[in-house]
Amino acid sequence: MQIVSYGLQPRTQILIVLVSITLLGVVLHMVRKRHVREQYSLLWIAACVVLLLAAVFIRAVDSLARAVGIFYPPAFLFLVAILLLVVLQVHFSVVISSLKEQSRSLTQDLGLLQNELHRLRRELDHEITRKPQES
């Protein structure tokens, strides 16, 4: 069996480098403008860096693909991209679950505080109406 290398053409490599640098710049700009929190941006920054390194060191990607048993490097890149998306999905699922629990807890606290406020208002109204009668 003859192994054929399907390396990227230089202009495709340059395009991927430019896209990854642009995406990295957008993510950093969004963090700076407080549109995205730092903790959520780390995975996006890591994804941009992996994309950039994959484009710059395409021979290493070719070698890694062959080591894994994939003889078509773009398929290996798609596999890596899918795995990165799965990691992002799991991360955001954990964040959403945490936020949902926090929202439920805050809603319960708000209900208790509103109940306490109504009770105190009733007591205050009762005391106000009782004091003029005592004089």
pLDDT in tens, 90-106: 988 999 999 999 999 99
Q: Which domain holds residue 34?
A: 10-134
Residue-level pLDDT at 4: 47
Tally of domains within the chain: 1
Q: Is 54 exposed, middle or buried (0-12, 13-18, 19+ CB in 10 A)?
A: buried
User: Among the residues of 33-72, which ranges form H helices?
Assistant: 38-56, 58-68
Report yes or no on 4 lying in a domain.
Answer: no
Mean pLDDT value across residues 65-89: 88
Report yes or no on 105 lying in a domain.
Answer: yes
User: Among the residues of 57-72, which ranges form H helices?
Assistant: 58-68
Report yes or no on 122 lying in a domain.
Answer: yes
In angstroms, what CA-CA distances link 89 with 46, 54, 79, 92?
14, 22, 15, 5
Mean pLDDT value across residues 38-51: 86
0.75 exceeded by the pTM?
Answer: no
Contact 69, 80 (CB under 8 A): no
Report yes or no on 107 lying in a domain.
Answer: yes
pLDDT in tens, 11-33: 888 888 999 999 999 999 999 99
Report yes or no on 49 lying in a domain.
Answer: yes
Is 1 a residue whose pLDDT tops 50? no
* Kind plus residue range of the DSSP H or E element containing 106: helix 73-134
Report yes or no on 1 lying in a domain.
Answer: no
pLDDT in tens, 106-119: 999 999 999 999 99
Report yes or no on 93 lying in a domain.
Answer: yes
Contact 5, 62 (CB under 8 A): yes
- In the three-class reduction of DSSP (H, G, I as helix; E, B as strand; rest coil), residue 122 is classed as helix
Rounded to an integer, what distance in angstroms lies between the CA atom of residue 71 and that of residue 20? 24
